[in-house]
Chains A and B, each alone.
Chain A
């Protein structure tokens, strides 16, 4: 809230240097900054770059619309430096372990700083840019490797953060549940007490005394039971998440339930997920064949190879004829099946029957 009002006041006296519009005339005006670090309102950008690249009205440098972006910092020099540093970081991404000694690494950082300083302050821009390009060309492979590395690291970090978040949420839910259970037990207790006081013929004092004793007993036993689950949960959830992660993901049903929402964006959408990917089937098999194989998905749980089922009537007729085709124990033990041959012959006969003419 505070930041929003602050930026509003900061930019109150904004004036577009091109069309001289200010916030008083156009409250929706947005000032954007181009690569040459000259401001312009979005109307002017739309107008000037409607027909592709055009020169900047201030410095005549050729710009295009996509290069403009909203200003993050009020001070343009800061904005400029941040942008330049961002660009530099994509190329100069070497790490400590890429150097033999600390000194080499520091020297490298020093040169990067020098180059950045020159760019920011526009000293020898041409030679600096040439030096940067030369570095980028020389270290192309390394730059890509480090970019990949960064990708893997951020991936791991987000995964860990996600796990921590889930863990926290689970703990919170557990706590809330306990709280509620306690509350319920208390009210139940009170009800019972009133009931007893109303109906029993013992004196009120003895009833209350026995209550107090029961409560103190309960408390100690509660404390005992509480200790147990917390220690066991710390052993399975409190440990660093790296090595054990696999175990937890696979076994813990609770975890899976938390996962549901993100998981929906799995490989190809949760609903339409088809491990077999039948769209590739008509590449090599006839249309009629595709249908019969697809129907076999109903067999998912069964143990027969879908191609070898009786859907085409092969297995039933041919597998155990006594004479010519029977297999000896050796072939059988090797995993050969007569059905392979018959199935293949039939498939070969059908191939291209349903292909469109060339």
Chain B
């Protein structure tokens, strides 16, 4: 018994010695992320240090979820969990290091998206998600920020802190998942039993965001989220979504008419809109699945997905440029309603002239 324990500790120590943390790159509620290196291979990795001490019930739930799901998933479009080791009282996850994410690319207005770029990003996202769903895992936090991009252009699903298995009847799931803007209507209505539809809805929002270069349904509160959604896609009726009124947090909303997507997405082709629409169907049972989406004509039609090496890369801002930009933003924010602003506005008001 003792020898097994010693052996495990020895193994843990070996792993620990092989990695070196270089620089802190981010901090979340329950973890700090460092960029580091594997000393034996010189490979750059991301090390997620999970703070343990502060939780009196042991390890934080999301850490357990992340380790549990990532161990089961191996796919080119899912982030790879390379090692797990303990050091002092902290749990460390060694993950692949990817330097940018889709959110940065969307926000970088110096990059022009070609339709083929969007298609390839969607393709990679759906491939990764399909892999999760086939293994009965819901990601539950799909958003551009969690779709990481490597230097080779490969896109990978990351942050499985909210992921869990689905399909088992006797367990209820929580509805408080997914970043609000990407949250599916059944979650907003408080459904405790749901399926892969929640991830697909989020992907639909990401798809729309890639086409628009702006968040598609940016609600300020949960209520506002529903309002924004219904304004954009029309208020669903019981015929659109059978059983909708029986959901725990169902609220009757003002009846907005459905506007065709074509009006907002003037640039998109018919196949693009068809796929987008089938991802944003209210009834989760009729919403498209990841597999069906992959086999949608959109991916077979021209233009073909841009080859990996030609996908646009995010250019990190130089510190000087960032400073200049901040200054410009400060000028933009110059408040016209303030005392100074009012004086300025009056001086420039020519309405009194005849």
Contact = CB atoms under 8 A, between A and B. Distances in A.
Interface of A: 97-100, 141-142, 145, 148-149, 151-152, 155-156, 159, 242, 244-247, 249-251, 256, 259-260, 263, 265-267, 270, 273, 275-277, 280-281, 283-285, 297, 300, 302-303, 305-307, 325, 328-338, 340-341, 343-344, 347
Nearest to A283: B74
B43 to A, nearest CB: 18
Nearest to A335: B284
B145 to A, nearest CB: 20
B115 interface: yes
Given A266-B304, A280-B75, A331 B193 contact: yes
B285 A337 contact: yes
Contact of B291 (A242, A259, A283, A307): A307
B269 A250 contact: yes
Contacts of A266: 116, 304-305, 307
B107 interface: no
A336 B111 CA distance: 40
Interface stretch (B27-35, B85-93, B161-169, B328-336): B161-169
Given A99-B320, A338-B169, A341-B167, A333 B303 contact: no
Interface stretch (B46-54, B238-246, B253-261): B238-246
Contact of B318 (A142, A242, A245, A343): A142
B318 A148 contact: no
Given A152-B315, A344-B136, A335 B302 contact: no
Nearest to B111: A152
A247 B266 CA distance: 7
Q: Considering residues B75, B134, B268, B288, which has the most beta carbons from chain A within 10 angstroms of its beta carbon? A: B134
Contacts of B74: 283-284
Interface of B: 72, 74-76, 110-116, 120, 123, 126-127, 130-131, 134-136, 166-169, 184, 186, 189, 191-198, 211, 241-244, 246-248, 266-269, 272, 283-289, 291-292, 294-296, 299-300, 302-308, 310, 312-318, 320-321, 324
Contacts of A98: 318, 320-321
Given A142-B318, A303-B286, A273 B300 contact: yes
B191 A275 contact: no
19 contacts: A145-B318, A246-B115, A247-B267, A250-B272, A251-B269, A260-B302, A265-B307, A267-B306, A275-B127, A276-B127, A285-B134, A300-B292, A303-B292, A325-B169, A330-B193, A332-B285, A333-B191, A340-B136, A344-B136
A338 B134 CA distance: 16
Nearest to A308: B289
Contacts of B304: 263, 266-267, 270, 273
Q: Considering residues A265, A273, A275, A340, which has the most beta carbons from chain B within 10 angstroms of its beta carbon? A: A275
Q: Considering residues B285, B299, B307, which has the most beta carbons from chain A within 10 angstroms of its beta carbon? A: B285
Q: Considering residues B195, B266, B268, B300, which has the most beta carbons from chain A within 10 angstroms of its beta carbon? A: B195
Contacts of B291: 276, 305-307
Contacts of B189: 333
A149 B318 CA distance: 11
B201 to A, nearest CB: 10
